[in-house]
Protein backbone atom coordinates (compact mmCIF):
# COMPACT_ATOMS: atom_id res chain seq x y z
CA UNK A 1 0.00 0.00 0.00
CA UNK A 2 0.99 3.61 -0.15
CA UNK A 3 2.55 5.54 2.73
CA UNK A 4 2.08 8.91 0.99
CA UNK A 5 0.07 10.96 3.49
CA UNK A 6 -0.62 13.64 0.86
CA UNK A 7 -2.80 11.16 -1.04
CA UNK A 8 -6.36 11.91 0.08
CA UNK A 9 -9.02 9.80 -1.70
CA UNK A 10 -12.69 10.74 -1.80
CA UNK A 11 -14.95 9.80 1.13
CA UNK A 12 -16.30 6.26 1.00
CA UNK A 13 -19.79 5.95 -0.44
CA UNK A 14 -19.45 2.32 -1.57
CA UNK A 15 -17.58 3.18 -4.78
CA UNK A 16 -14.70 1.19 -6.22
CA UNK A 17 -11.12 2.46 -5.94
CA UNK A 18 -9.31 4.26 -3.12
CA UNK A 19 -11.62 5.67 -0.46
CA UNK A 20 -11.32 7.51 2.85
CA UNK A 21 -13.32 5.85 5.61
CA UNK A 22 -15.12 7.88 8.32
CA UNK A 23 -12.29 6.88 10.70
CA UNK A 24 -9.77 8.62 8.41
CA UNK A 25 -8.23 5.35 7.30
CA UNK A 26 -7.68 4.74 3.59
CA UNK A 27 -8.80 1.55 1.87
CA UNK A 28 -9.17 0.11 -1.63
CA UNK A 29 -12.31 -1.55 -2.97
CA UNK A 30 -12.35 -3.55 -6.20
CA UNK A 31 -15.14 -2.93 -8.69
CA UNK A 32 -18.08 -5.21 -7.89
CA UNK A 33 -16.84 -6.03 -4.38
CA UNK A 34 -17.91 -4.90 -0.92
CA UNK A 35 -14.60 -6.01 0.65
CA UNK A 36 -12.05 -3.36 1.63
CA UNK A 37 -8.27 -3.72 1.56
CA UNK A 38 -6.98 -1.39 4.28
CA UNK A 39 -3.91 0.82 3.94
CA UNK A 40 -2.01 -0.12 7.11
CA UNK A 41 -0.12 3.18 7.01
CA UNK A 42 -3.33 5.02 7.91
CA UNK A 43 -4.52 2.64 10.63
CA UNK A 44 -5.27 4.43 13.91
CA UNK A 45 -2.47 2.52 15.70
CA UNK A 46 0.13 2.88 12.89
CA UNK A 47 3.45 4.45 13.84
CA UNK A 48 4.06 7.85 12.32
CA UNK A 49 6.64 7.84 9.53
CA UNK A 50 9.66 10.10 9.72
Indicate the pTM of the whole model.
0.69
State the Cα torsion 44-38-1-23 to the nearest 10°. -40
Residue range 2-46, pLDDT digits in tens: 555 677 899 999 999 999 999 889 999 999 999 999 998 876 665
State the Cα torsion 18-15-35-5 to the nearest 10°. 20
- 20 vs 48, which has greater pLDDT? 20
* pLDDT the model gives residue 41: 80
Q: Is the pLDDT of residue 47 over 90?
A: no
From residue 3, alpha-carbon distances to 14, 19, 31, 42 in Å are 23, 15, 23, 8
Amino acid sequence: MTSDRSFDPNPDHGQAGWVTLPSGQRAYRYDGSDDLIYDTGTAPDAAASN
